[in-house]
Amino acid sequence: MAGIAERLKKRIVVEEGPDGHWLWSGGWIFNAGGSMHRPRRVVWEVFGPNKGHIPPDQMIISTCAAENCVRPEHSTPSGTKSFVLKKRKSVEPVVPPRPKSKKLSRAQRNKVLTTLRVLVRALEAELAKE
């Protein structure tokens, strides 16, 4: 379970505050030791209040407004799909922020290329001496 827990943590964005959401940023199916499950179910089994296996007829249902929240305290086990029908449908899912790409400016790119050219010439000179 330690390997699964580490893989889960890499895909969870934790919001600030005592009741902050654990926003799932991975795919909607998670490979947990060779079996495929929804991330909320695997997080419940690994970090939930009653750690361990959940019967296959039980579903883990989100009780909060964020559809992609996998925090065990914001979920509950349910044996029926009726709970899903009772949930509010007007709430938009909370999407975790994506990391911004770090693009180099033209001057930075030119500096990197110049440095690489100098290094290549130095290596070629060393190889030519041998």
pLDDT of residue 111: 92
Question: Is the Cβ–Cβ distance between 21 and 64 less than 8 Å?
Answer: yes
Task: Look up residue 43 and give its DSSP letter.
Answer: H
pLDDT of residue 87: 54
Q: Is residue 67 part of a domain?
A: yes
Q: Is residue 7 part of a domain?
A: yes
pLDDT of residue 120: 93
Residue 65 shares a structural domain with residue 10: yes
Number of domains in the chain: 2
pLDDT of residue 81: 53
- pLDDT tens digits, the chain, 130 residues: what are they? 568 888 888 888 888 877 788 888 887 777 777 777 788 888 888 887 777 777 777 788 878 877 788 888 888 887 765 555 555 454 555 666 676 767 888 898 899 999 999 999 999 998 888 7
In sequence order, the β-bridge partners of residue 128 are none
pLDDT of residue 119: 93
Residue 72 shares a structural domain with residue 25: yes
Q: Is residue 92 part of a domain?
A: no
CA atoms within 13 A on the CB side of 12: 22
Q: Is residue 96 part of a domain?
A: no
pLDDT of residue 90: 46
Specify the residue for token string 């419940």. Answer: 44
- Give the residue numbers spanning the domain of 78: 2-86
Residue 122 shares a structural domain with residue 79: no
Q: Is residue 94 part of a domain?
A: no
Instruction: Report the 10 Å Cβ neighbour count for 6.
Output: 9
Q: Is residue 121 part of a domain?
A: yes
Residue 27 shares a structural domain with residue 74: yes
Token output for 43: 């997080």
